[in-house]
Amino acid sequence: MAFQNLNDVQFSADQVVIAISHSDFGGGHIGIGFHTAKAGAKIMHLAWHHRLEMQEIPDFSRKSCWAADVLVIPPLASKQLVAFIRAVATKCPKISYGINFLAARGSFQANASYKPPKGSDGLTCATFVIEVLRAGKVNLINGDTWMPTPQNVSWGNNVCALLEKWADAEHVDAVKRNINGLRIRPFEVAGAAQLGYKKWPVDFQGTQQPASDAENQLPQICPPPSPI
């Protein structure tokens, strides 16, 4: 399977798509595409701190471009996952932006309520997708195998600098304490999804090549935005 423009992806009401786009930090962005019960297809993504957004599909605005592919899982599992995603979308929880993905495991309850575990500072766009899928019985990655990188330390510092404009000092301090180089990148989630359910959960090393492939495909489908 390969990514294509989200507007061109054909998927049924019982299927989910994984969609990636460009981000201000240059590390990519990710969301989940699904059919609502009555309002058509949507892409759900954690845009930022307390900003869970729903975007219509198709969307031909110049500011919006996503590369996407169908998440291929058994039909019954896919149907159940869609039902869970719809429930999350209906609740539209207020989610803090945070980077400690290990503490965030189990953020969504069986009834689709968002209840961050003790020690969680919130979610990123990538861990939002991971946790929604996990609660929907789809476990893409083995987070215990993730490795820190200097680039992810820089990313964490950039996140905190921007959070200072949007979140209270207590939250920013909590996120700062969790900067350790560990990060699940959007392209790693997208890459793991491409490998197929028989290979899930994927370890860190196993995601790197498909993540690189996803990152390389994105600008071919969605031209990078012009610098501000």
Number of folded domains in the chain? 1
Do the domain assignments include residue 225?
no
- Amino acid present at 59: D
What contacts 225, CB < 8 A, 6 or more positions away? 22
Q: What pLDDT score was predicted for residue 60?
A: 75
| Angle in degrees, CA 59, 212, 148, rounded to 5 | 110
Let me know how long the chain is: 228
Do the domain assignments include residue 145?
yes
Do the domain assignments include residue 180?
yes
Do the domain assignments include residue 227?
no
Q: How far apart are CA 151 and CA 222, in angstroms?
A: 24
Q: What pLDDT score was predicted for residue 201?
A: 99
Which domain, by its residues, includes 81?
A: 4-218
With left for phi above 0 and alpha for psi between -120 and 50, is residue 191 left, alpha or beta? alpha
Q: What pLDDT score was predicted for residue 62?
A: 59
Q: What pLDDT score was predicted for residue 27?
A: 87
Do the domain assignments include residue 8?
yes
pTM tops 0.85: yes
Do the domain assignments include residue 32?
yes
Do the domain assignments include residue 223?
no
pLDDT in tens, the chain (228 residues): 689 999 999 999 999 999 999 998 778 999 999 999 999 999 999 999 999 999 999 887 656 899 999 999 999 999 999 999 999 999 999 999 999 999 999 999 999 999 999 999 999 999 999 999 999 999 999 999 999 999 999 999 999 999 999 999 999 999 999 999 999 999 999 999 999 999 999 999 999 999 999 999 999 999 987 765
Under a CB-based contact definition with an 8 Å cutoff, are residues 179 and 160 in contact?
Answer: yes
Do the domain assignments include residue 228?
no
